[in-house]
């Protein structure tokens, strides 16, 4: 079994060793320009066009990350980038859900316990106990309720917060109010105090967190973006922060990465940011998941993590 590998930073030797633990018959090789030798599978992240072009005999392509938008966004320029009828698969979890839960819960609790306000008071050397927030007044809305969004929503619900989610189709998570479709977005936003974004990157979701959406949130709301930078209109967020409509924002993803030094997001007093580290691919867990998926395909079964290219996830 021949497996092609391309990732700009991952260690191919580490991945080869990990995969062979689960698939002893597999041989993983790093793709190099000019490599047109046959392969059964491809593991990729931001692959060159030349790597996948014409590889119609692949049994599947696995994207080494939570989203496949980086690959799908290039289809407009290269319609033949993805070989016809070759399944495109994404990571279902591989440890990312736990990381997202840690990130989201820690930040929501930071805001709920008013640590942002106490940090501001500390800078002024002010000793001033503040009135506590109530759980009932701290409704959390999760945009996107797939594998990651659903688990983040359920984790926050266990802390006693009212939690709601919004997605393309209605969900049935216990104790979580579900909204679906564009006609229910306004109802989802009404009363939301903390907005957490975990949407997939599709043409319909680009720029969805804009001035109009932010204005529909509760006053003094918070924004946590863990999905993609293209979802957020950064200028609109800055305007909402400056007007006082939005009290604070925590951002892990940006339109341009690395975030340029001249971006006002670096210096805004009510913005905190991290360099796209909310959930990273963990090789040990990802290799086990990929091996399991390959075994399913080899048995003639459909992989459960196959992407609907038309929908984008």
The neighbour count for residue 258, using CB atoms within 10 Å, is: 9
Q: Say whether 267 sits in a helix, a strand or coil.
A: coil
Q: How far apart are CA 212 and CA 222, in angstroms?
A: 15
Q: Which helix (H) or strand (E) holds 197?
A: strand 194-197
Identified catalytic residue from 228, 268, 270, 299: 228
Q: Give the list of residues 6+ apart from residue 8 with CB closer than 8 angstroms, or none.
A: 45, 46
Residue ranges in the chain assigned as alpha helix (H): 12-22, 49-52, 69-72, 96-112, 115-123, 147-157, 185-189, 211-215, 234-243, 283-298
Identified catalytic residue from 55, 276, 282, 296: 276
Q: Any idea what DSSP says for residue 301? A: P
Would you call 228 a catalytic residue per the annotation?
Answer: yes
Q: Give me 13's structure tokens.
A: 């030797």
**Lookup result for tokens 């940006």:** 254
Q: How far apart are CA 1 and CA 140, in angstroms?
A: 47
Would you call 276 a catalytic residue per the annotation?
Answer: yes
The neighbour count for residue 237, using CB atoms within 10 Å, is: 23
Q: Give the list of residues 6+ apart from residue 97 with CB closer than 8 angstroms, or none.
A: 147, 148, 151, 152, 279
Alpha carbon dihedral 152, 154, 159, 164, in 10-degree steps, equals 90
- Catalytic positions are 228, 276
């Amino acid at each position: 079994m021949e497996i092609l590998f391309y990732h700009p930073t991952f260690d191919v030797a580490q991945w080869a060793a990990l995969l062979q633990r689960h698939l002893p018959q597999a041989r993983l090789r790093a793709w190099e320009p000019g490599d047109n030798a046959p392969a059964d599978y491809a593991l990729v992240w931001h692959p060159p066009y030349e790597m996948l072009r014409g590889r119609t005999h692949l049994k599947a392509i696995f994207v080494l990350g939570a989203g496949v938008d980086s690959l799908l966004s290039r289809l407009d320029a290269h319609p033949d980038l993805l070989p016809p009828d070759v399944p495109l698969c994404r990571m279902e979890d591989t440890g990312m859900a736990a990381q997202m839960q840690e990130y989201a819960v820690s930040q929501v609790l930071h805001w709920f316990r008013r640590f942002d306000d106490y940090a501001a008071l500390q800078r002024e050397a002010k000793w001033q106990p503040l009135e506590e927030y109530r759980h009932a007044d701290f409704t959390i809305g999760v945009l996107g309720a797939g594998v990651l969004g659903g688990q983040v929503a359920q984790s926050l619900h266990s802390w006693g917060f009212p939690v709601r989610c919004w997605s393309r189709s209605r969900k049935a998570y216990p104790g979580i109010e579900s909204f679906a479709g564009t006609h229910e977005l306004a109802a989802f936003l009404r009363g939301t105090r903390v907005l957490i974004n975990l949407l997939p990157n599709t043409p319909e979701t680009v720029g969805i967190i804009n001035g109009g959406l932010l204005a529909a949130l509760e006053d003094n709301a918070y924004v946590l973006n863990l999905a993609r930078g293209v979802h957020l209109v950064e200028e609109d967020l800055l305007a909402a922060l400056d007007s006082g409509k939005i009290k604070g924002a925590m951002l892990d993803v940006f339109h341009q990465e690395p975030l340029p030094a001249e971006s006002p997001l670096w210096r805004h007093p009510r913005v905190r940011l991290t360099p796209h580290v909310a959930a990273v691919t963990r090789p040990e867990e990802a290799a086990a998941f990929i091996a399991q998926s390959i075994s399913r395909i080899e048995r003639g079964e459909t992989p459960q993590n196959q992407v609907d290219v038309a929908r984008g996830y």
